[in-house]
Amino acid sequence: SPQNIQSKFRGCLVGSLMGDCLGGPYEGDEISSGDRIIIQRYFDKMEDASFKGPFKKYTDDTAMMKSVAKFLIDKPEPDFKYLAKLFVTEFFKEPRRGYGSNVMDVFEKLRNTKYEDIYRPSNEQFNGLGSYGNGGAMRIAPIPLYFYDKYENMLNVARESTKITHSNLLGINGALLQCIAIHQAFLIESDKPVDVDGFCKGLVEKIRPIELACYEDLNDKSETPYCEKIFTLQDMLRKKYTDDSDEEVICNIGNGISAYESVPTAIYCFLRAQNPIPGIETNNIFRRTIQYAITLGGDTDTIACMAGAIAGAHLGYEAIDKTTLQHCEKYEDIVGLSDSLFKARPN
Ligand code: 8NA
Ligand code: MG
Ligand code: MG
Ligand code: MG
């Protein structure tokens, strides 16, 4: 396992917070070439110690990620009913954090049924199809950290925790893919460069059996949508596509609120940012990752949050600019939460 584990815990959760806070103001936007310059200046300003401005607020992504961390810290054995209660309590305490428009129904039903069956409300979403939103993936980060040396437990806890709000296979497997991506990045030493092709290969090897097992139950063995999407982003990174403009990335990989159109995009941002990107002027790979994610527009807070978690898990806390971090709401709490999660691990 890596040398600087505690720094990687911090890097990952703080990375997630920063993507959420810095991406929040652009959520839902379409980004023009003029906007790209404004985003470059916005990040430059954040790194300038003389700049004083109101902090950037975190959204539902961080609110729910904090509950997942608390669930792991407070209970020695995973207690999913406890997690459901944490989500609901957090939501009713601060409902205006920009939650997805349908997930609120799940919280209301959980509360009204006194958590009798914690999976029923999510199963009832969208006429029984379940949500395929990225809400499971956006909050997953504490799980691959806590279970970094227990792969099967990691997958089980990731799946069961996602199902409280998301029962559609695309929502669940998207959360698992994000979990696996963070886990893989965590296991790469911070001072070693990322082998981009090898990283994609690893993801395919792990997500393929998961997808095949799911769709086998549905008698459709040919379905491996996330595998196919990884092949697409791998081809784009290998420059098999002559055009890797933002428009082309959005068209081929996506920038939406569904897990399918955002988790592979976050992974792409992390991998693409291993090398310079035109229009993103910085030598800091962490900054490049989240700035590029925001520049793609659409679900900016969530894609930057997921990309930031992956990059932070690789690079660790030292690689993150602290002046920028100080512009993010409650950043000290997330540093503290990372340390508590690290200490809560059984050894
Ligand atoms: P969710 O379960 O409400 O899903 C989000 C949205 O995805 C839903 O409201 C639907 O529009 C759509 N959706 C999901 N499943 C289906 C389905 N089976 N059929 C049709 N439509 C479906 O909540 P969530 O927690 O997954 O959402 C997370 C996202 O919402 C994050 O981006 C978060 O930041 C938040 N959010 C996003 C925006 C934005 O404009 N991008 C704005 C506010 C909030
Ligand atoms: Mg806006
Ligand atoms: Mg959000
Ligand atoms: Mg979002």
User: Does residue 40 carry a pLDDT above 70?
Assistant: yes
Band (311; pLDDT cuts 50, 70, 90): very high
Ligand 1 atom nearest residue 102's Cα: 3
- Residues with Cβ within 8 Å of 266's Cβ and at least 6 positions away in sequence, in order, are 178, 181, 293, 303, 304, 306, 307, 310
Nearest-5° Cα angle at 217, 212 to 222: 40
Q: How far is CA 93 from the centre of its chain?
A: 23
Tokens 């399918």 correspond to what residue?
A: 260
Residue ranges lining ligand 1, Cβ < 6 Å: 27-28, 59-61, 98, 100-103, 126, 129, 131-135, 138, 168, 257-258, 299, 301-302
Strand partners, 258: 133
- How far apart are the C-alpha atoms of 322 and 142, rounded to whole Å? 21
**Residue pair 107/87 in contact by the 8 Å Cβ criterion:** yes
Mean pLDDT value across residues 222-247: 91
- How far apart are the C-alpha atoms of 25 and 301, rounded to whole Å? 8
What pLDDT was estimated at residue 214?
A: 87
Neighbours of 10 (CB within 10 A): 26
Tokens 């989240």 correspond to what residue?
A: 290
What pLDDT was estimated at residue 87?
A: 98
Instruction: Give the Å distance between the CA of 84 and the centre of ligand 2.
Output: 30
- Please report whether residue 77 resides in a domain: yes
Ligand 1 atom nearest residue 129's Cα: 18
Among the bound ligands, name the one nearest to the CA of residue 28: 1
pLDDT digits (tens, 9 = 90+) for 47-81: 999 999 899 999 999 999 999 999 999 998 999 99
User: Does residue 228 carry a pLDDT above 90?
Assistant: yes
- How far apart are the C-alpha atoms of 12 and 315, rounded to whole Å? 9
Strand partners, 328: 56
pLDDT digits (tens, 9 = 90+) for 313-341: 999 999 999 999 999 999 999 999 999 99
What pLDDT was estimated at residue 189?
A: 97
- Please report whether residue 222 resides in a domain: yes
pTM exceeds 0.90: yes
User: Does residue 219 carry a pLDDT above 70?
Assistant: no
CA distance between the termini of the chain: 14
pLDDT digits (tens, 9 = 90+) for 87-145: 999 999 999 999 999 999 999 999 999 999 999 999 999 999 999 999 999 999 999 99
What pLDDT was estimated at residue 84?
A: 98
Band (220; pLDDT cuts 50, 70, 90): low
Band (42; pLDDT cuts 50, 70, 90): very high
3-state SS assignment for residue 4 = coil
Ligand 1 atom nearest residue 258's Cα: 7
Instruction: Give the Å distance between the CA of 85 and the centre of ligand 3.
Output: 20
- Please report whether residue 12 resides in a domain: no
> Tokens representing 214?
């799911």
- Please report whether residue 14 resides in a domain: no
Instruction: Residue 298: give its domain's CATH number.
Output: 1.10.4080.10
Mean pLDDT value across residues 14-40: 95
3-state SS assignment for residue 133 = strand
Band (16; pLDDT cuts 50, 70, 90): very high
Band (221; pLDDT cuts 50, 70, 90): low
Mean pLDDT value across residues 235-254: 91
**Residue pair 126/168 in contact by the 8 Å Cβ criterion:** yes
Instruction: Give the Å distance between the CA of 119 and the centre of ligand 2.
Output: 33
Ligand 1 atom nearest residue 166's Cα: 2
Band (215; pLDDT cuts 50, 70, 90): confident
> Tokens representing 118?
């914690």
Tokens 């992390």 correspond to what residue?
A: 270
Q: How far is CA 169 from the centre of its chain?
A: 17
What pLDDT was estimated at residue 347?
A: 72
Q: What is the ipTM of this complex?
A: 0.96
Nearest to 47 by CA among 330, 305, 345, 291: 291
Residue of 108, 161, 162, 257 to mutate, ligand 1, most atoms within 8 A of C-beta: 257
- Please report whether residue 1 resides in a domain: no
Q: Domain limits at 253?
A: 23-344
- Please report whether residue 199 resides in a domain: yes
Mean pLDDT value across residues 192-214: 96
- Please report whether residue 10 resides in a domain: no
Q: For the chain, what is the domain count? A: 1
**Residue pair 16/134 in contact by the 8 Å Cβ criterion:** no
> Which residue blocks in the chain are alpha helix, DSSP H?
5-23, 33-47, 60-74, 80-93, 103-112, 120-124, 135-138, 142-146, 151-162, 169-187, 196-217, 225-237, 246-252, 263-272, 285-295, 300-315, 322-325, 331-344
What pLDDT was estimated at residue 1?
A: 78
What pLDDT was estimated at residue 222?
A: 66
